Amino acid sequence: MFKGAFTAIITPFKDGEIDDGAFCDLIDWQIKEGIQGIVINGTTGEAPTLSNDEYKHILKIGIKTANKRVPIIAGSGTNSTAKTIEATAYAKEAGADGALITMPYYNKPTQEGLRRHFVAIHDAVDIPLIIYNIPGRSVVDMKVDTMADLSRLKNIVAVKDATNDLARPLKTRIACGPDFSLLCGENSTYGAFLAQGGDGGILVTSNVVPRALREFTDAWFAGDLKKFAYLNDVLFPLHEVLFVEPNPAPAKYALSRMGKCKNELRLPLCEISAETQKKVDAAMDRVKKAGYL
């Protein structure tokens, strides 16, 4: 159902509040640059620091700004099944095209607990669901067998795979079948993930260079391996440096350099160090020379 390059979009702040103007301009620019979908209120959007009212507000204005030009996915997962159902129900009400549900972090549920969590959300809200498997942040890893079981449910349609295990997409494709979308959640291995059977990615780097990520993705599916390899080399340093410090701090610095938002985060995140700034600058210069900034 979901295919191509999606952006896990940042949430711009100004003087401690959401910067509505910058956010709407950023979504409009992303779409004009060719991005194929946008995730709002994900980790990159600093969702854990947003109030319930802010969560609803930014999703509402994002959907309105997109105006059905691309799919909008709402990050609605928490470590409470009841709260996740509530947030996912709002996402449907607001008009989102799907919901991204992370593994329940901190609780450390068993595979059976994970299965019941996703079944409960599926049964409560009629909206396409993307499983977000990110062991590095949640401490739990959904096994392929569990995912295959869940993939048989009507509305569980995709996974955002941030395991950094490049055997995983092949195993998942075999277990879950060709209609279950495989989306990469590890920017630096995006190219390899596509080559292992991926359908696309939910990416952070595309906050900064959406056109480059769209062209990179299109090159793979068009069989243009020369362009694919070239862009892989151009983009790799930026993929890496945007995670030298916790995401989205490096991405927000890069976007502030481009005049897209203020370099402002909410605690416990803070601005990147001067040393990291230099690394981001160098990676941005590389993609600028290639004509993508």
Q: DSSP per residue over 207-246, as a string? A: GT-HHHHHHHHHHHHHT-HHHHHHHHHHHHHHHHHTTSSS
Going through 108-155 in order, the beta strands assigned E by DSSP cover 129-133
* End-to-end CA gap in the chain: 30
- The CA distance from 168 to 19, in Å, is 38
Q: At what angle do helices 274-289 and 249-257 cross, to 10 degrees?
A: 60
- The CA distance from 56 to 280, in Å, is 32
What is the CA angle 46-23-186, rounded to 5? 45
Number of other CB atoms surrounding residue 41 within 10 Å? 29
Strand 98-102 and strand 72-75: pairing? parallel
Is 3 assigned a catalytic role? no
Is 68 assigned a catalytic role? no
Choosing from 90, 92, 105, 132, which is the catalytic residue? 132
Choosing from 160, 252, 260, 279, which is the catalytic residue? 160
Q: DSSP per residue over 233-283, as a string? A: HHHHHHHHHTTSSSTTHHHHHHHHHTTSS-S---TT--PPPHHHHHHHHHH
- The CA distance from 241 to 245, in Å, is 8
Instruction: For residue 162, give Cα distances in angstroms to 55, 114, 184.
Output: 23, 17, 6
CB 133 within 8 A of CB 141: yes
Q: Please name every residue paired with 73 in a beta bridge, in sequence order, or none if there are none.
A: 39, 98
Residues known to be catalytic: 132, 160
